[in-house]
Amino acid sequence: MNILLLGGGGREHALAWKLAQSPLCTALFAAPGNPGIAEHAKLVDLDLEDHAAVAAFCAGQGIGLVVVGPEAPLVDGIADSLRAAGVPVFGPGKAAAQLEGSKGFTKDLCAEAGIPTARYVRCMSADEALAELVGFSLPVVIKADGLAAGKGVIIAETADDARAAIEDMFGGSFGASGAQVVLEEFMEGEEASFFALTDGTAIVAFGSAQDHKRVGDGDTGPNTGGMGAYSPASVLTPALEADVMTRIIEPTVATLAARGTPYSGVLFAGLMLTAQGPKLIEYNCRFGDPECEVLMMRLESDLVELLLAVAQGRLGAVPAPVLGQDTALTIVLAAKGYPGTPEKGAPIALPSAPEGARIFHAGTAHKDGALVANGGRVLAVTALGASVTQARDAAYALADKVDFPGGFCRRDIGWREVARAAALPAE
C-alpha cells in the first residue's frame, strides 16, 4: 500500500526507516520530510494546515494509511479531516488530542477518572494564578496550558521565580499556549515514559523509555525538547507497567470512549514514579522525540501492520508489538544556542554507521549540495547494545565521528541506568 508520513523531525526519520522496511509498504511519501527521510520516502510539499490539500494528495496517490508524526497537526484536527475523506489515519482526532493540546483538559480528565496525578489548579488570569500560588509548597510547577514544544514547564524553586513565571506566561512568552496556566504540586521521584497503542477499545503496551530534558550534563540548565533517551527503562518494572496500564492508561481510554471521543493512536504517558506509586505527569498524543528513535531501533514487529490495525479499529486482531531485549540509546546533537535561538547553516559530515546503529536526521537541510544544520536538535545518534553501557558506548563512539563543529551534546545520556547496572551484583 501507499503510505503518507506527516512531519520532518528525528521522530519521523525513525518512523520512515521502520515503515519502509515493511513488505506492506509499496511506496512511502513524506511531507515535509528532511534529508534523512528522503533516503526512505519521496518528499512532497504539502501545507499540513491545509487539510483539503492533504486529503486531495491522498486521493490522487491512493494513500492507504496516513501516519501523523507531530502533535500540532493532530491538535489541529488533521486526523478528523482525513477520516472524513475515507483515509485511514494513525493518530487521534482533535477532541482526543486535547490530552496533549491542553494540560488542563488532561488534569480534569484525571480528576474525573480517578487517575493518580499531582494536585493542580487551572488559572485563567495572572491575578488568579498569583492568588492560588499561596496554596502550593515550593518548589511549584507552572505549566502553559497549550502546546509549547516541550518547553512550557517551569519548576519554580522560589516564590519570586513562580511569580515571574506566571507573569511571563500570561504576558505572552508562549503566545496563545499561555492564555491559561496550570499550577501543580511538585512530585518527588524518578521520571519515566510509557507507551501504549490503542484503537479506542483494544490497548497494547509499546515499551518504556527515559528522556533527558535538561540541556546540560547532570540535568542542569533549561528544559529542551529532549537531549537523549534510552529504552527500556528498567526502573519501570513489569509490575509497575501493569499498574500504569490498570490505573492510568485503561481509565483514560475508557473515559474518552464514554465521552464519545475515542482515542486512536499512541498514548505517551510521562510518569513520575513516586513513593505512592506511578503518577501521570502529562500525556502526549504521538511518539516522543527522541524516544521514538530508541523504540523503533528495538521494534521487531511490522510497524505498518500495527499502525494500520490501529487506524482500522482492529488492533486486537493482530499480534502484540515485540521489542528486542537489547537496550537502545540515542544522543541528540544540537546546534549552538539551543534551546534558545539555534545557529543554523553549520556544515555537517556524517560517518558511516556500523551495524546496530543509526544516525537519524532531526533538523537538517541541504544547502549548495552540502548537509547543514537547520534546527535546534539536529541529529539523533542511536545505537543498540546488550546492556545500557554497551549501547551508550556505541552511540558516543559514533557521535564523536560526526563532523559538526557547530553542534554539542550531553555526555551523560543514560547515567541513571548506567549507575543502576553498575550497582547490580556480578553474575
Tell me: the pLDDT tens digits for 290-326? Answer: 999 999 999 999 999 999 999 999 999 999 999 999 9
Give phi and psi for 342, each to the nearest 5. -75, 150
Dump pLDDT digits (tens) for 347-366: 999 999 999 999 999 999 99
| pLDDT at site 319 | 97
Q: In terms of C-beta density within 10 A (0-12 exposed, 13-18 middle, 19 or more buried), how is residue 278 classed?
A: buried
pLDDT band at 151 (very low <50, low <70, confident <90, very high): low
Q: Can you tell me whether residue 130 is helix, strand or coil?
A: helix
Output the average pLDDT for the chain. 95
- Grid coordinates belonging to 363: 533538523
pLDDT over 60 at 244, yes or no: yes
Q: How far is CA 159 from CA 173, 186, 226, 273, 414, in A?
A: 19, 14, 27, 26, 32
Quick check: 426 pLDDT over 70? no
Amino acid at 380: A
Average pLDDT rounded to a whole number, residues 13-40:
98
| Beta strands 370-373 and 364-367, pairing class | antiparallel
Which of the four pLDDT bands, split at 50, 70 and 90, describes residue 150? low
Mean pLDDT along residues 9-33: 98
Q: What average pLDDT does the segment 149-167 reach?
A: 86
pLDDT in tens, 363-378: 999 999 899 999 999 9
pTM: 0.95
The closest alpha carbon to 356, from 304, 320, 393, belongs to: 393
Taking the C-alpha atoms of residue 147 and residue 161, their distance in angstroms, rounded to an integer, is 22
CA distance 293 to 226: 12
Whether pLDDT at 268 is above 70: yes
Q: Taking 60 as the threshold, does the pLDDT of residue 259 lie above it? A: yes
